[in-house]
Each structure stands twice: as C-alpha cells, then as structure tokens.
Chains A and B, each alone.
Chain A
Amino acid sequence: MKLAYWMYAGPAHIGTLRVASSFKNVHAIMHAPLGDDYFNVMRSMLERERDFTPVTASIVDRHVLARGSQEKVVENLTRKDQQEKPDLIVLTPTCTSSILQEDLQNFVERAAGTSTHSDILLADVNHYRVNEFQAADRTLEQIIAFYLGKIEKDTASTVSDRTKKTKEPSVNILGVFTLGFHHQHDCREIYRLLKDLGIQVNLILPEGCRVTDLKKIPEAWLNIVPYREMGLMAAQYLEKQYNMPYIATTPMGLVETASWIRQICDLLQSLGPLVTPLRDSAKYIDQQTRFVSQAAWFSRSIDCQNLTGKKALVFGDGTHAAAMTKILVREMGINVCCAGTYCQHDGDWFREQVQGFCDQVLITDDHTKVGNMIAQIEPAAIFGTQMERHVGKRLDIPCGVISAPIHIQNFPLSYRPFLGYEGANQIADLVYNSFTLGMEDHLLEIFGGHDVKTVITKNLSTDQGGASHLIWTSSAQTELQKIPGFVRNRIQRNTEKFARSKKIQEITVEVMYAAKEALAG
C-alpha cells in the first residue's frame, strides 16, 4: 500500500481507451463498476469533443460479484454491435475485472460466435503491471497486429509479399491520439513539414483512422514515432514483421528537428530510387532555421542573452522532458539543474538522453519528491506538468507547462504545436515569458511595487455617504468572513446597499440573507 493523492500517469485502462476512442468507428466497452467511465468526461471536457465518446461500461455490480458476469458482457457486446455498427469493439479490462479473474476472452469468443458485424478484441493489458502509456502503446500494437494478421489469414499470403510500396515516398505517423499533449497541433505541423519536403503521409495512427485502413500500413516506406511513450511497440512490431524501418526521434527544438529531417531524407533515399527527388533537405533546414523560424534568431538576440546561466528545472514525460532539457541547454544557454521524468519504465533511455545536459537526473513518480527538489534548488523557472505549476505557485516560481498531466487550459483553441519549426517558436515564447514574468516579479519586490504612494482615496469602496452609519453585528461579520474572498466585497456592498434602501442601521445575519433574497445574489 502506498499513500498518495496525485499521480502522473493514469491507470492502464485509460491508455487503452485513449487509443480505441481515437480510431474512427471503434467502440470500447469497459468491464467496470458504475462511475469508472470518467474517461468520457475527460474527453468531452478537455478535448471539447463534439461527438459522444465511444466508450460504455458493462457494469460490474453486486450481482456480477456474486454470480459472475454470465451473459451480461456478451449481451452488451452484441447490443453495441447492433446499435452503432462499429468496425471493432475493444473489451477493456479494469482494475476490478483483473481481480475478478473472469474469462473475458471467453466472452469475446462467444460474442464473436453470434455473428456480430464488428470485430471484437480483448485489450491485453494488466492493470497492476502497466500504466496508461504502456497500455496505450500495447493496445495500438495489438490492434495493428490483429488487422494485419487477419489479412494474412484471409489471403493466405504474407502482407509483405503482397504489398507494394507507394510510388511516392511516404510515411506513417504512429502515436497521435486523444487527450495527448498538443497532439493535434503537432500532427498538423509534422504533416506540413513532410509536405514541404515532398513526402506523403500514408496514415496517421490512431487519431481519425479507420481500422479498415490498417491494411494500408505496409505501403508506407517508413514509420515515424514522434512521441516515445506511444507508438514505439507498434513501430518495432512493423519493423520485425514487415521490414519497415522507423524513426523515433522527436522533432522538438531546432537541433532535433534538423536531425529528424536528415534522418528521414537519408533513410528514404537509401530505400530505393525516388520517382520525384526530395527537396534538398540541407538547404531546407538552413532556410527554415535561419529565416522562417524565429527561434534561432531569438537565441542570438539580447533578450535571450539575459537568460544565460539562469537556473531551471525540467520534469515531465520522457519525450518532452528530454527534448526540453536539450533545448534549454543547447539552444538557449540555460542551466538545467535537474531534469526528470515520471516514466520510470523508460528511465535508462531518459538518463542517456539528458546525460551531459543537466546537473542531476530525477526519475520518480512521487510528486512530493519533485516538489522537494524544486524547493531545494530554487530555480528561476520550472518546466513541468500541472503539478509543478502548482508547486511553482506556492514557491513563487514561474512555470511553463510542457507535458501531461494537463488541464483544460492546455488544450488551446489556437495553433500551438510543440514540434517542428513553429513548435520551436512556441517553445521560445513559453521559455521567455516564464523567465521575464519571474524577473518582473523580482524587480517589483526590490523596488516595492509600481505604486509607491499609499492609496489615499478608495473610489470603489463602500465607505461613502451614509454607509458609515451602518453597523455590522459581530455574528454578521463572522458570516461575512465565511464568504470566499473574491466575492466578499460584492456581498458586503450589496448588503449595505440593501440596508440603506430599507433604512436599516444594524446589519445582522438576517439582513444579509434578506439582501441576498432581494438582490440577485
């Protein structure tokens, strides 16, 4: 048992649901008690999703506990099949079903035996062994393997024998999915970059993809995995089974983006004769870096000079924390005192990535350790998750959010990629704004704020006219103090206005309530 109230990575089923609901026309059924479908709320609220989240629960209640699910799961599977005619239904186990140890695979087979329109798959994830990211990674691999395997079985030949590559060089993007940190924007940015270079995008997985299109996967020349946490397993599987190479570099920051472009172009050129030559990548990189993007120029400008040697702490998922550390150090001259990640299962990779870029590495999923580290180092700025933002608030240190877990404000409506050249601009803004805000605060403190004179007149206050005659009884004052600070003044004003209009001299609790009833709250 572990005492905790905050976690960086969610439970396994969240990962499975994120993958399943990213595909088009795929439905997930959770084997779970009432209330475990909170995922739907998150997707509907955070992503502001317009469609109903294709996730329902086959409810585990007291009866299921006593007698087993019996027909219930099968009924829910066939019912959903008829109602929505999805291409695929993913039966998703939860922590509850993993201890109940019901034979869910058996339910899947029985439902499939009733000649459902949809394919049915049991997500192969163990709640107690893997977290959200690992489960997402595994589920994506599982779905891809299932459909490619199905084709092989149907045609009695291997897909690689059969499949021709696209005529033009093309790639699959693996790992763009719902509730991902700026995934939609990143995806658009990558798409644009590849288009500039003359590279087609064959498939984007799983966001917006139909499982019926999965047969086209091997037609791409190579796979790109922008985020390490999700898509790597699928890429490795496709490399092994279908001989498709992959690139797992994250094009975040100018240096990494350049290296990512070079790797893709070199690999494509080595794979076969190109019908239409790719754009000269070296020239493209140079032009984008120096003139189109503003980030390179920013790093030479006087503004950025002032950031030299400033202390920062970075924490987040492996992909974003590693990339951010490198950007801060290599591209802006900032001193990263500590870089860390909560992706403990991938700790070795992270250590290797940030080696030489930071003073110390912190690999933990305990937010109090991260908080203590921040308090100990006292950096000038933090780049972390929402949790670090709140630690920063408490310690008066500015924080830029660079990684999940995130809140609704991290799902901006405007175009905010973190990857590619536009991403580099966004990151430069984020870094600069974090540090200047901190600096302004600091200067204000030294010079005692903007307003050095004591305020003499209070125009907005209520202490005017006849108000001074009003007396607040002590119980009314106590009641007033219970009202949250940000509305207290308004309540006080309204109450006094009411009292004056009623010619009441003494404000009691009753008067307060009467005022509330009379005025609009």
Chain B
Amino acid sequence: MSPLKFECETGNYHTFCPISCVAWLYQKISDSFFLVIGTKTCGYFLQNALGVMIFAEPRYAMAELEEGDISAQLHDFDELKRLCFQIQQDRNPSVLVWIGTCTTEIIKMDLEGMAPKIEAMIDVPIIVARANGLDYAFTQGEDTVLAAMAHRCPVVQGQKGEASLAQPERRSFARPEGRRVAEALPASQQPSLVLFGSLPSSVAQQLTRELESQGITISGWLPEARYEELPELGPGVFVCGVHPFLSRTATTLMRRRKCQLIGAPFPIGPDGTRAWIEKICQVFDISPKNLDERESQIWENLKDYLSLMKSKSVFFMGDNLLEISLARFLIRCGMIVYEIGIPYMDKRFQASELNFLEKTCNEMNVPIPRIVEKPDNWNQIQRIRALQPDLVITGLAHSNPLEARGITTKWSVEFTFAQIHGFTNARDILELVTRPLRRNNHLKDLGWSKLVTGSHGCGDLLDQKVAQ
C-alpha cells in the first residue's frame, strides 16, 4: 500500500499549449518541417512563445484556417495539398509533420485520412500528431508526435533470427522488471535497446556514453537528428524513456511495435541517472561498474549548491510533467517539497519514478509531498500564501506577481529547455534552482522584497495628482 496520495483539482491552471513542441522538435529533427493546422490563436502563441526563433526562418509554419475553411466552403483536402506542395518545393523536407489543433478536432478535419493521399502525391512522408489543448498539456505535445513517429520506424532486421529472445508474455503491459533477459551476452548479441525522447544531441551523446561504459550499446534513438535515421523497432527490441511525459509513446511502442518497455526512474539528477542505468543494466543482466563512485563524485561537485538548498521548501505549481522527477531530485538535495502540481499523472509509466520518490522521502526523512493532478492555480496561490515556501516553481503568468509579493520563484519552462539529463548536467538543474536563492542572497539587505501597494497603472495619475 503506497502512502503516496493523489488529489485532483479543477484543471484551471496555466500551461503552454502542446503545439509548442514544434519549437524543440523542428530543431532536433533537422530534416523535418512542421505544419501547424490551426487558427490565428495558435499562430499568435507560437510567435510570442518562441520569441527570436521566429526570425531565423524556422522549419515550421501555420496553415491558418480562415472562415471559409471552418464553414467548409473551401475544400480542406485541396487547400492542404496546395500548401504541402508549396512547402515541398520551397524547403524539400524529408518528413512533414502535421500538428492537429483544437480547431481541426472540433470541425473534425480528417487529417489521418488525408495524409496518406497527399503523401503519395508529394512523395514526402506525412506524420499526423494531434497535439491540441483539448486533450494535452505542454510537453505532452512531444509525446503525440513521437507516438505518431513510432509507426514510421523501420521493422527490425533479422527479426526471425532473434525470435528466440522473444518471450510469450512480452505483449502484456507487464514490465520486464527483475526478469533477466538472456545470459550476459557480448554486446554484439545483446538484444537492441532504443531510447525514446527528444534531447539535444550533446545530451543524447552523453547518455549514450554512460550506457556504453557499462557495456550496453544503443541501437538508436526516437527521434534521431534526421528523420531518415529512425531506429528499427519490433519484437525483441527493448525501449526505455528519458522523459516522464512520454506515456503514449511508451504505449505505442509496446502495443503496436511489440517492443519491451524498461520501466525505470528518469535520468534527471545523479540519483535518477544512476537508478536509470542500474535498471537498464539489470534488464540486460549486467552488473553496473563504478556507478557508486560516479554518483558520489557528482554529488561532491554539487556541494556549494547543496548548502544553499538545505532545508529550503519548494512548491511545484505544475505545468510540464517533469515535476515528479525534479521533486525527487530536490528532496535528495535536502529540500522539502510541499506540493507537486502536475498536469497529468500516468501512474503506470511513472511507477518506478513514484516508488523512487517515496523511497527518497523515507531516506531523507521528510514528509511525502501532496501530488495534485490538474491543479487549480487559484487554490494553489491561496496555499502558497499560507505556506510561504522558499521557492515556487511556476509558469511566467504567476512568476512576477508572486515575486512582487515577496515569494521567490523559478520559471518552470526553463527546465524544459535547459539540459537536465544525465550525470553531466546535474549541475545545470541546480544552477537553475538556486539562481533565485543566490539572487536573494545578493539583494537581501535592500529592504524592498515586497513591492505591491494595490493600485497600479496610469489611472493613478488622477488619484495621486502627480505634479510634473
């Protein structure tokens, strides 16, 4: 019986629209082109959220729906065909990703039906991902794209020959925990391992090397830096996720591509990275080498930051699904977490991470935080006022107002864009977490930490009769 308690609130919270995943995915998959089929609202969001990236001739665009498209006066098939031909001529991508939005859902535009026909006409693969705000939050956008992309990965070669590795219960949801696959095989005969989740190439490289140093070779990543290099999938292929928000992709890989999922904590923080490697080693029946030293060396290097964090309290408002892993890491760093807000909690995909969180709380002897799914920001702000945490990890909509009220904040989206995976980047996470604390240390004697009076704006000119 797990002492973890899950609550669910109203879902009135602030997060980014999942179409924001194009921002990092178009950069990751360098031969792709993302077409977001939506309205001005979607375009406005992307334009403002992506800031300067917009000006760099990005490989994404809006197919902006106009009134004629909504009222079906225009034929959506012909319209999309026209735009896709144009993109194919101007940019010649290796893959086109259509991002379905709220509008295409509501008007029931049959994107999955149209894609294969247009694909045949322009001779460029078209992947359809429904990354809309009706169903998903922020990082889950990547999940929908990768789940769609999983269908396009080539079938594993020589599958028949490796069939001996296949085991009958493979198709079940059961994770291969504790089950030893084959006897310690030389690398060449190991079953292949594919990691899923989009990471900057240097971070992917670092994780790859961590596993290589344990004698595990990775046969590919979903996604790779180029669409044409997508890894081979099939029965007998082991898969492991690097992000906590990839539950649909995991399900697709298991159910549709018959891969075996390794359920592990996520490689965020040195504790997470170690647990992640250990789990993979365990599945491949390898006893991990040097992990103890490796981890303690990293912790040693973090000492200066840890002293700043000791016994400080944190409140996660929740908007990007990294919250459980980050909270677990921060607890291990000596912090006290009051609340973990999270948009969506897949208890099966995150099972190992949740166990790890519980274990960490027990080991650090701190109370287990409340986990709030679909939080209500208004309620959360009342709780923050009551608890007065030392740090609130939240979106930009609430950061400045909280700071003005003397509550220290860290902008949560930075955790999505910063490099936070693996041993090497543990310091980067703490760099982010401690930045507001270090700022506080610098400014602490100035006496202006609370900066709200109640009135604002130039209407005050009238109230105060400012004399010029």
Task: List residues of chain A with CB within 8 A of the CB of B400.
Answer: 44-45, 48-50
| Of A60, A192, A393, the contact of B468 (CB 8 Å cutoff) | A192
Complex contacts, A201 vs chain B, CB 8 Å:
461-462
Interface string of A16-49 (1 = CB under 8 A from B): 0000001010000000111111101110110011
Tell whether B1 is near chain A: CB-to-CB under 8 Å: no
Q: Is B446 an interface residue (CB 8 A)?
A: no
Closest Cβ–Cβ distance, residue B455 to chain A (whole Å):
8
A52–B202 touching, CB < 8 Å: no
A268-306 vs B, CB cutoff 8 Å, 1 = contact: the mask equals 000000000000000000000000000000000000000
* A204 close to B (CB within 8 Å): yes
Q: Which residues of A contact B80 (CB under 8 A)?
A: 1
B134, A99: Cβ atoms closer than 8 Å:
no
Closest residue of B by beta carbon distance from A39 = B397
CB of A35 within 8 A of CB of B137, answer yes
**CB-CB < 8 A to B185: which residues of A?**
none
Instruction: Tell me if B459 and A38 are in contact (CB < 8 A).
Output: no
Give bound CA distance, A440 to B255, whole Å: 64
- B452–A51 touching, CB < 8 Å: yes
| B11 proximal to A (CB < 8 A) | yes
Do B16 and A35 touch across chains, with their CB atoms under 8 A apart?
Answer: yes
A517-B298 contact in complex given A10-B44, A479-B205, A482-B202, C-beta closer than 8 Å? yes
A486 CB → nearest B CB, Å:
14
Cβ–Cβ < 8 Å partners of B106 in chain A: 65, 96, 99-100
Q: In the assembled complex, which residues on chain B have CB atoms less than 8 Å from the CB atom of A56?
A: 12, 377-378
Q: What separation, in Å, do the CA atoms of A443 and B49 have in the docked complex? A: 38
Q: How far is the CA of A207 from the CA of B428 in the complex (A)?
A: 41
Q: Which of A50, A513, A516 contacts B456 (CB 8 A)?
A: A50
The reply to whether the CB of A165 lies closer than 8 angstroms to some CB of chain B is no
Q: Which residues of B contact A41 (CB under 8 A)?
A: 14, 48-49, 395-397
In the complex, are the beta carbons of B40 and A10 less than 8 A apart? yes
List A residues 455-494 near B (Cβ within 8 Å). 479, 482-483
- Give the chain A neighbours of B297 by CB distance below 8 A: 517
Contact among A1, A48, A192, A203 for B64, CB-based, below 8 A: A1
A513 touches B209 (CB 8 A): yes
> Are A2 and B64 interface neighbours, CB within 8 A?
yes
Most chain A CB neighbours (cut-off 10 Å) among B67, B86, B102, B461:
B102
- Asked if B60 is at the interface of the complex by the 8 Å CB criterion, the answer is yes
Q: Is A349 an interface residue (CB 8 A)?
A: no
* Interface residue? B229 (CB, 8 A): no
The distance in angstroms between the C-alpha atoms of A187 and B461, with both chains bound, is 9
Closest to B67 in A: A128
Which of B39, B61, B82, B452 is the one whose CB lies under 8 Å from A5? B61
Instruction: Check if A50 sits within 8 Å of B301, measured CB to CB.
Output: no
Other-chain contact of B401, A35, A52, A483 (Cβ < 8 Å):
A52
Complex: A176 Cα to B80 Cα, angstroms: 41
> Secondary structure of the A side of the interface?
mixed
Q: A11-B40, A96-B103 are in contact. Are A517 and B424 (CB under 8 A)?
A: yes
In the assembled complex, which residues on chain B have CB atoms less than 8 Å from the CB atom of A48? 400
Residue of B nearest to A63 (CB): B134
Q: Who on chain B is nearest to A45 by CB?
A: B396
Stretch in B50-58, B169-177, B308-316 with 4+ CB within 8 Å of A? B50-58
A-contacting residues, B366-419, CB 8 Å: 377-378, 381, 395-401, 404
The residue of chain A having its C-beta at the shortest distance from the C-beta of B50 within the complex is A5
- Check if A3 is an interface residue, CB within 8 A of chain B: yes
Per-residue contact bits, chain A 388-406, to B (CB 8 Å; 1 contact, 0 not): 0010010000000000010
Is A510 at the interface (CB under 8 A from chain B)?
A: yes
Whether A188 contacts B461 by the Cβ 8 Å rule is yes
Interface residues of B in 197-239 (CB under 8 A from A): 201-202, 205-206, 209
Assess whether A62 is interfacial by the CB under 8 Å rule: yes
CB contacts under 8 Å to B, within A169-224, are: 176, 183-184, 187-188, 191-192, 195, 201, 203-204, 207-209
Residues of B within 8 A of A176 (CB): 458
Residue A53 is within 8 A (CB to CB) of chain B in the complex: yes
Knowing A44-B399, A83-B378, A509-B209, say if A99 contacts B15 (CB, 8 Å).
Answer: no
Using A35-B133, A482-B202, A509-B209 as known contacts, say yes or no to A6 and B39 having CB atoms under 8 A apart. no
B70 touching A2, Cβ below 8 Å: no
Q: B468 contacts A195, CB within 8 Å? A: yes
Residues from chain A with a CB closer than 8 A to the CB of B201 are 482
Q: Does A156 contact B (CB under 8 A)?
A: no
The yes or no answer to A518 lying at the interface (CB within 8 A) is: yes
**Is B74 among interface residues, defined by CB-CB distance under 8 A?**
yes
Closest to A193 in B: B468
Question: Is the Cβ of B431 less than 8 Å from the Cβ of A521?
Answer: yes
Q: A208-B457, A509-B209 are in contact. Are A44 and B398 (CB under 8 A)?
A: yes
* A520 part of interface (Cβ distance < 8 Å): yes
CB pair B17–A34 under 8 Å, yes or no, is: yes
Residues from chain A with Cβ under 8 Å of B74 in the complex: 1
Does A13 sit within 8 A of B, measured CB to CB? yes
B112 at the binding interface (Cβ < 8 Å): no
- Interface 0/1 of B259-272, CB less than 8 Å to A: 00000000000000
CA distance A445 to B135 in the complex (A): 55
Max chain A C-beta neighbours (<10 A), residue from B12, B205, B397: B397
Contacts of A393 in B (CB 8 A): 55
Would you call A248 an interface residue if the criterion is a C-beta within 8 Å of the partner chain's C-beta atoms?
no
Min CB gap A91→B, angstroms: 15
Residues of chain A with a CB closer than 8 A to B64's CB:
1-4
A61: B residues at CB distance < 8 A? 11, 134-135
Kindly report which residue of chain A lies nearest to residue B70, judged by CB atoms: A99
Which residues on the B side are within 8 Å of A2 (C-beta)?
62-64, 66
The chain B residue sitting closest to A44, CB to CB, is B400
C-alpha gap A60/B133 in the complex (Å): 8
Q: What CA separation (Å) do A37 and B11 show in the bound complex? A: 13
Chain A residues within 8 Å of B209, by CB: 509-510, 513
A62 to B456, CA, bound (A): 38
Q: Are A518 and B301 in contact (CB under 8 A)?
A: yes
- Chain A residue nearest to B107 (CB atoms) is A99
CA distance A8 to B11 in the complex (A): 32
Q: Which residue of A lies closest to B69 (CB)?
A: A1
* Cα(A53)–Cα(B202), bound, Å: 39
Contacts of A40 in B (CB 8 A): 14, 397
Say whether A4 contacts B62, CB under 8 Å: yes
| Shortest Cβ gap from A139 to chain B (Å) | 17
B462 and A204 contact, CB distance less than 8 A: yes
Nearest CB of chain B from residue A182's CB, rounded to whole Å? 11
Contacts of A11 in B (CB 8 A): 39-41, 44
Asked whether B458 lies within 8 Å of A188 as measured between CB atoms, the reply is yes
A390 CB to nearest B CB, Å: 4
Q: How far is the CA of A141 from the CA of B56 in the complex (A)?
A: 39
How far, in whole Å, are A49 and B48 apart by their CA atoms in the complex?
17
| A517-B70 Cα distance, complex, nearest whole Å | 53
Is the C-beta of A314 less than 8 angstroms from some C-beta in chain B?
no
Contacting residue for B423 out of A34, A65, A517, CB 8 A: A517
Residue in contact with B63 in the complex, picked from A3, A96, A100, CB distance below 8 Å: A3
**C-alpha gap A438/B133 in the complex (Å):** 45
Contact with A along B85-111 (1 / 0, CB 8 A): 011000000000000001101110000
Residue picked from A6, A34, A127, A207, most chain B C-beta under 10 Å: A34
Q: How far is the CA of A516 from the CA of B424 in the complex (A)?
A: 7
Closest 10 CB pairs of A and B: A208-B459, A35-B17, A208-B457, A33-B133, A40-B397, A50-B404, A390-B55, A1-B79, A128-B67, A11-B40
7 A–B pairs (Cβ distance < 8 Å), ordered by A: A2-B64, A14-B44, A128-B67, A187-B458, A191-B461, A517-B301, A521-B427
**11 new A-B pairs (CB below 8 Å) besides A11-B44, A50-B400, A129-B67?**
A1-B65, A2-B62, A3-B87, A5-B58, A34-B133, A35-B133, A38-B49, A41-B14, A48-B400, A96-B103, A99-B70
Q: Which residues of B contact A (CB under 8 A)?
A: 11-12, 14-19, 37, 39-41, 43-49, 51, 54-55, 58, 60-67, 69-70, 74, 76, 79-80, 82-83, 86-87, 102-103, 105-107, 132-138, 201-202, 205-206, 209, 297-298, 301, 377-378, 381, 395-401, 404, 423-424, 427-428, 431, 451-452, 455-462, 466, 468
